[in-house]
Structure formats: C-alpha cells, structure tokens
C-alpha cells in the first residue's frame, strides 16, 4: 500500500502493536442501506472488492440470505461471478451456501462453473442453516422433506461431484467434476466444528455475531481434526467485526447502524440498513444492551491505533489462522475507509 493509500494511518501507529498479520479477508453481506437499492449494493460490492484486492486482502466472501430487504446476495453464485469478474487475483467465495436449500449436484455445477471461469480463485463455504425463516424456506424448496440432519451426507455428496469422475459414474457435474473447489464448513456451534474435524476441512466460525461457543468450537475442532486430501492440519478462520475510522468517536457512531439492524431483527422487523444514530444504546432496554454486548464481543471499534491493538489481542488470544472481517457501515465511503485502515495492519507485517 502506498503512503497516499494509507491516508492518516501512520506506520508508527501500527508497528507499535506489531499485529503480525495472519491473512485478513472480507465477508460482505452486500448491505442495502436505507434510501438505496440492491443495484446500488451490488455496485458497492464491486467497488469494495477492487479496493480489497489492491489493499492485500486474501479472500472475499458473500453469504446466502433470503427474503431480507437489507441484503442483496441471495443469488450467491451469481454475485460471486459478478465479483470475480470485477477482480483478478483475490479469492472469491461463499460464506456460505446454505446447503439444505439446494441439491448438492446443483451447487457442484454452479461452483464448478465458477472454478472453470476463474480457476484457482473460488472457495465454497457450507452452512446448514436455511439463511431465512421457515415460510421462505418452504418457498425456496417447495417442501421441507429434507432436514438439516442430512447436512453431513450432502457435504460428502458434493465433494464426490467435485472430484474426478469414477469409471461408470452415472451422474457427473459438468462443469464441476475434477475442479475440487475447496470446501469449508461454517458454524456457530459445536456441530460445525465436529463435522469439519471429521471431514478434515477448514472451519470458519461466525464469531462476528454468535461468539458464545467460539472457544469451545475451536478446541473441539483442533483436538478432533483428521487430515484429509484437502487439508493436513487444522485451519480456523474467525469472523471479526471492524468499525475503524479516524477517531474513536466516529467509529462508535458508525457501529450503531449494525446495532440497529440486530435490534430490529430480534424484534421481528428487519429492513434495510439504517443510518447511524448518536447515543443509540441509551434508547434500548437493559436486555437489548446486553444482547448487543454479546453480539459485538469479537470486534475492534475505534481509530487506527485502537483497532490495531484490539485485533492483535484477538489474534493472540484465539490463535486464529485467518480473520474474516465484517464492517457493517451505512455509508459506502466510510465502509471503504474502515477496511482501508484494517488493511494497514497487513502492510505493516510485510
């Protein structure tokens, strides 16, 4: 990163903490702010991945959510194609595909096509939640005869379709067969940790919004990990919120958009991302304040120095192999600035 790209982020500020950076990546929920459209959100994602590639981020993931006005990445594989086409080197993938919503063959064909178009750059993270409410799940699948309990079997079936076809194999994913798109297991509980360990796959934990089982899940995964053809030792990526700005005060204000979105979701009235509100916490009940404190436990909020210190402490405490950063900020330019500040930690470690 050049000096002008760093802006006001001085190298002395970062080197003081020597964050040492493990790879940093981005999870983009393709947020749709109030007053904007999904088209705006997808254009913002294109702009962000192009900056992220310049700043040295390792990978860029989008997530499958349905029937949510504030998230524009429902057609996840199409969004990945849009982003991979807008970039050239950064890895692009799903964080994740909610496999109970899909036949494994369909996902093998979609991601096999992506891997054929963008070889060596596509990741496929898999989750077992529906990514929506039950009524929308019914609309997605037409029936709910499938079960989340089928998830391990579906993952193995998907792996099968992505390998070279065996002689006489009746169903072959085309494109897909032989691409061996790297699979990840996503989770927010011990279930995903157990499955990732058993299958010898990398594990991504949703600590950016559900940190309660993070420590236990990492411990289970690392202790029970069985090497596989894809991975010979455990690899943990943790979600981590970043709200970085030039001052602590501005960063805490920017964080209130995410807080409002979570509160609205818990109240059953989700919508587009709202603009920040000063002193938002003071308007909430004690229970809602406690809920937000737990949700935001894995976060760095503040100026460049504050964010560097908090991120470094989190890495040291968890021994994560990679961080997947989330920056849910209303204003696109301020979201860019937040990720730019975080990227400064990568540059200092080079």
Instruction: Quickly tell me which residue has 């470094």 as its tokens.
Output: 312
Token pair for residue 28? 């983009």
Q: Mean pLDDT across the chain, nearest whole number? A: 91
- Residues 150-158 have a mean pLDDT of 96
**Is residue 24 reached through a cis peptide bond, with omega within 30 degrees of 0 on the bond before it?**
no
pLDDT in tens, 19-36: 457 999 999 999 999 999
Hey, how many other C-beta atoms are within 10 angstroms of the C-beta on 221?
26
Q: Residue 79 pLDDT > 60, yes or no?
A: yes
Is the CA virtual torsion 227, 229, 232, 233 positive or negative?
Answer: negative
Cα 58 from Cα 93, distance rounded (Å): 11
Q: Residue 15 pLDDT > 80, yes or no?
A: no
The model's pTM is 0.91
Phi/psi for 59 (5° steps) reads: -145, 165
User: If pLDDT is split at 50, 70 and 90, which confidence band does 306 have?
Assistant: very high
- The pLDDT, as a whole number, for residue 16 is 39
Q: Residue 4 pLDDT > 50, yes or no?
A: no
- The pLDDT, as a whole number, for residue 345 is 87
Q: Residue 347 pLDDT > 90, yes or no?
A: no
Share above pLDDT 90 across residues of the chain, in percent, rounded to a whole number: 85
Q: Residue 301 pLDDT > 80, yes or no?
A: yes
pLDDT in tens, 247-274: 999 999 999 999 999 999 999 999 999 9
pLDDT in tens, 199-241: 999 999 999 999 999 999 999 999 999 999 999 999 999 999 9
Q: Where are the domains of the chain?
A: 3-349
Pairing of strands 203-205, 236-244: parallel
Cα 197 from Cα 184, distance rounded (Å): 11
Hey, how many other C-beta atoms are within 10 angstroms of the C-beta on 181?
22
pLDDT in tens, 83-110: 999 999 999 999 999 999 999 999 999 9
Asked whether 235 and 321 are in contact (CB, 8 A), the reply is: yes
The alpha carbon of 194 is separated from its chain's Cα centroid by a whole number of angstroms, namely 20
What element of type H or E holds 308?
helix 304-318
More confident residue, 1 or 85: 85
Q: What is the CATH number of domain 3-349?
A: 3.20.20.30
User: If pLDDT is split at 50, 70 and 90, which confidence band does 13 have?
Assistant: very low
How far the first Cα of the chain sits from its last, in Å, is 10
Range of weakest confidence among 24-33, 130-139, 279-288: 130-139
CA angle 21, 322, 51 (to 5 degrees): 75
- The pLDDT, as a whole number, for residue 267 is 94
- The pLDDT, as a whole number, for residue 17 is 40
Q: Residue 293 pLDDT > 70, yes or no?
A: yes
Q: Residue 148 pLDDT > 90, yes or no?
A: no
Is the CA virtual torsion 195, 201, 206, 212 positive or negative?
Answer: positive
- The pLDDT, as a whole number, for residue 305 is 96
């Amino acid at each position: 990163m050049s000096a002008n790209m760093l802006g006001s982020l001085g190298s002395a500020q970062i080197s003081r903490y020597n964050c040492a950076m493990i790879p940093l990546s981005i999870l983009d929920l393709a947020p749709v702010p109030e007053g904007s459209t999904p088209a705006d959100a997808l254009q913002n994602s294109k702009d962000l991945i192009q900056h992220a590639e310049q700043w040295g981020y390792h990978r860029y993931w989008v997530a499958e959510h349905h029937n949510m006005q504030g998230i524009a990445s429902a057609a996840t594989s199409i969004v990945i194609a849009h982003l991979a086409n807008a970039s050239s080197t950064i890895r692009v993938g799903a964080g994740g595909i909610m496999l109970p919503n899909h036949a494994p063959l369909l996902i093998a064909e979609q991601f096999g096509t992506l891997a054929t178009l963008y070889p060596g750059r596509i990741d496929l993270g898999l989750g077992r939640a529906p990514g929506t409410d039950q009524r929308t799940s019914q609309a997605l699948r037409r029936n709910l005869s499938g079960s989340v309990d089928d998830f391990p079997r579906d993952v193995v079936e998907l792996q099968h379709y992505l390998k070279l076809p065996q002689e006489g194999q009746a169903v072959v994913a085309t494109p897909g067969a032989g691409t061996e798109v790297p699979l990840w297991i996503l989770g927010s509980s011990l279930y995903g940790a157990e499955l990732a360990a058993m299958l010898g796959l990398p594990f991504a934990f949703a600590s950016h919004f559900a940190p309660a089982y993070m420590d236990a899940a990492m411990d289970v995964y690392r202790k029970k990990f069985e090497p596989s053809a894809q991975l010979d030792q455990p690899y943990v990526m943790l979600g981590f919120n970043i709200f970085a700005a030039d001052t602590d005060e501005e960063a805490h204000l920017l964080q209130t958009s995410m807080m409002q979105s979570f509160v609205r979701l818990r109240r059953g009235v989700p919508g587009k991302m709202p603009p920040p509100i000063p002193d938002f916490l003071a308007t909430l009940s004690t229970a809602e304040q406690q809920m937000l404190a737990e949700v935001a436990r894995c976060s760095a909020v503040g100026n460049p120095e504050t964010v560097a210190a908090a991120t470094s402490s989190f890495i040291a405490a968890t021994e994560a192999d990679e961080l997947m950063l989330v920056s849910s900020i209303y204003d696109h330019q301020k979201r860019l600035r937040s990720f730019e500040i975080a990227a400064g930690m990568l540059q200092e470690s080079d």
